[in-house]
């Protein structure tokens, strides 16, 4: 029904792209082996953001599924998060 569609549209990430400013940095992390959500959706989303001149980076985690299993992948994501929130942490803070 209409309410369901309105709720879906309101939660749609693509519906809010135009509200992003240059200060909004987007990092799209993609597990290239994701069997839950096709990685092509992420690639398409990144291209849409680039087309709209948004501040976007893409990080590929080769062979990872939707839930990260590799130690190195989790460490990479940890470092990305700490860098973005500008936390001062020890060198091995993300070592697993």
What digits encode the pLDDT tens for the residues 38-84? 999 999 999 999 999 999 999 999 999 999 999 999 999 999 998 88
pLDDT at 10 over 80: no
Q: Residue 29: pLDDT band by 50, 70, 90 thresholds?
A: very high
What is the C-alpha R_g of the chain? Answer: 16
pLDDT at 1 over 60: no
Report the distance separating Cα 18 and Cα 4, nearest Å: 23
C-beta separation of 28 from 56 below 8 A:
yes
Its pTM stands at: 0.79
Report the distance separating Cα 41 and Cα 32, nearest Å: 11
Q: What is the model's pLDDT at position 87?
A: 76
Percent of the chain whose predicted confidence (pLDDT) is above 70: 89
């Amino acid at each position: 029904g209409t309410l369901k569609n309105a709720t879906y549209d309101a939660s749609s990430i693509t519906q809010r792209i135009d509200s992003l400013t240059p200060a909004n940095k987007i990092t799209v992390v993609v597990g290239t082996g994701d069997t839950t959500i096709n990685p092509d959706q992420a690639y398409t989303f990144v291209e849409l953001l680039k087309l709209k001149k948004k501040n976007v980076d893409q990080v590929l985690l080769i062979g990872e599924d939707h839930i990260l299993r590799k130690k190195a992948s989790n460490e990479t994501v940890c470092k990305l998060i700490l860098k973005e929130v500008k936390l001062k942490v020890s060198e091995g803070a993300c070592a697993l």
